[in-house]
Amino acid sequence: MPYANYFGEQVNTIAMMEKLLDDPSSGIDKPAAAIVEVVQGEGGLNTASAEWMRKLENLCRKHGMLLIVDDIQAGCGRTGHFFSFEEMGIRPDIITLSKSLSGYGLPLAVVLMKKELDQWKAGEHNGTFRGNNHAFVTATASIEHFWRDDSFARSVRAKSRLLAERLNRIALRHGPHSLRVKGRGMMLGIACPDGEIAEEVCREAFRKGLIMETCGSNAEIVKCLCPLTITKEQLNKAMDILEESFAAVLNERVSTRSS
């Protein structure tokens, strides 16, 4: 995936890593693993393409590094499949999951790993507070309930399309402000020109009864991370409020500038 560097130039990040790993004088020790979010949550809803993920996996295999996918924010159905990398044709060595895994807001995080990487003996990884019993029960129930067939995943994909449509409409409506829709699945947001606008939009939305958050290096992205169980009616209501909030903030800015 080409990324823009600080000078705005496109950088082929895989080629850059390859160069650093191949060059014995690069000063970079060979890492044990590469850890990656397929859709960056707090980092700004940047999405990795399937091609980039496959290239990263090849790079890891070539250099004897493990590929770790941090699916804490993008997993558990958030992108329309249980894992964010499904259909990308990769097989990570380790996957981390947390957040909505318990299905009930209870504390639960897991580290999945290939069998051959599991060095723990049975009962060896212990401690006073290992595992929240209630969370184990609710996580089992939610996995059995929501993932017994693909109807839940399909409903998430349908709502993702609605969310994308509504956010694109907002971005188009305020064309001159160069708003940009970013992300994937039910992990979408609108990148604003700066963090100040994003903050004002979130404040306005809060006044109207909608809690929004921001992400990105300058907190410039208004981020939608609504519950996967939200109904289309609730989602539309939330998007109406967001649309009004963007209009209130950006129209106000235009009228202040022209007065």
Ligand X SMILES: Cc1ncc(COP(=O)(O)O)c(C=O)c1O
Which residues of this chain interact with ligand X, rule CB under 6 A? Answer: 37, 41-42, 70, 72-73, 98, 109
Residue type, 91: R
Look at strands 213-215 and 221-224 and give their pairing: antiparallel
Query: Shortest distance, CB of residue 38 to ligand X, whole angstroms?
Result: 10
Query: Shortest distance, CB of residue 187 to ligand X, whole angstroms?
Result: 10
Strand order in the sheet with 33-36: 33-36, 66-70, 94-97, 110-113
Q: What are phi and psi of 80, to 5 degrees?
A: 100, -5
Query: Shortest distance, CB of residue 173 to ligand X, whole angstroms?
Result: 30
Residue nearer to ligand X on the CB measure, 8 or 127: 127
Residue nearer to ligand X on the CB measure, 16 or 110: 110
Query: Shortest distance, CB of residue 75 to ligand X, whole angstroms?
Result: 9
Residue nearer to ligand X on the CB measure, 110 or 141: 110
Q: Which residues pair with 95 in a beta bridge?
A: 69, 112
Query: Shortest distance, CB of residue 41 to ligand X, whole angstroms?
Result: 4
Q: Where are the alpha helices (DSSP H) in 174-231?
A: 195-207
Look at strands 66-70 and 94-97 and give their pairing: parallel
Residue nearer to ligand X on the CB measure, 84 or 160: 84
Q: Where are the alpha helices (DSSP H) in the chain?
A: 13-22, 50-62, 133-146, 151-173, 195-207, 232-258
Query: Shortest distance, CB of residue 99 to ligand X, whole angstroms?
Result: 6
Q: Which residues pair with 224 in a beta bridge?
A: 188
Query: Shortest distance, CB of residue 211 to ligand X, whole angstroms?
Result: 16
Residue nearer to ligand X on the CB measure, 109 or 248: 109
The maximal CA–CA distance of the chain, rounded, in angstroms, is 72
Q: Could you tell me which of 245, 213, 199 has the C-alpha nearest to residue 45?
A: 213
- Report CA-CA distances (Å) from 198 to 45, 222, 238: 14, 6, 16
Residue nearer to ligand X on the CB measure, 41 or 92: 41
Distance between CA 109 and CA 117 in Å, rounded? 18
Residue nearer to ligand X on the CB measure, 72 or 192: 72
